[in-house]
Amino acid sequence: MPYVKVEIAKGIATVEQKRAVIRGMTEVLVKELGRNPEYIFVVIDEIDTDNWGRKGQSLTELWQAANRDAAVAPATETD
């Protein structure tokens, strides 16, 4: 009966990548907790970058700042 909700930014994953996430998350619960995959749900929620915030700024703002910095030196820490 496990249920998994995965929130990611919109636009970072293809349909194939989302299938890989569903498969991978399910395998973790089968391997580590011995759950029956028949009743393992995984739901992916893709969040608009205007609707996701960290340290008080939207992801849209954080990524714009990271891109500006990357023009000078390679980004090391991005969300």
What are the residue numbers of the active site? Answer: 2
Task: Determine the residue type at 20.
Answer: A
8 A C-beta contact, residue 2 and residue 41: yes
8 A C-beta contact, residue 27 and residue 21: no
Give the shortest CB-72-to-a second copy separation in angstroms. 19
Question: Integer distance in angstroms from the first to the last C-alpha of the chain?
Answer: 31
Is residue 13 within the footprint of a second copy (CB under 8 A)?
yes
Q: What residues between 38 and 77 interact with a second copy by CB under 8 A? A: 38-47, 50-59, 61, 77
Is residue 2 within the footprint of a second copy (CB under 8 A)?
yes
43 vs 50: CA distance, rounded Å: 21
Give the shortest CB-6-to-a second copy separation in angstroms. 5
- What is the binding site for a second copy (CB under 8 A)? 1-9, 12-13, 15, 17-29, 31-33, 35-47, 50-59, 61, 77-79
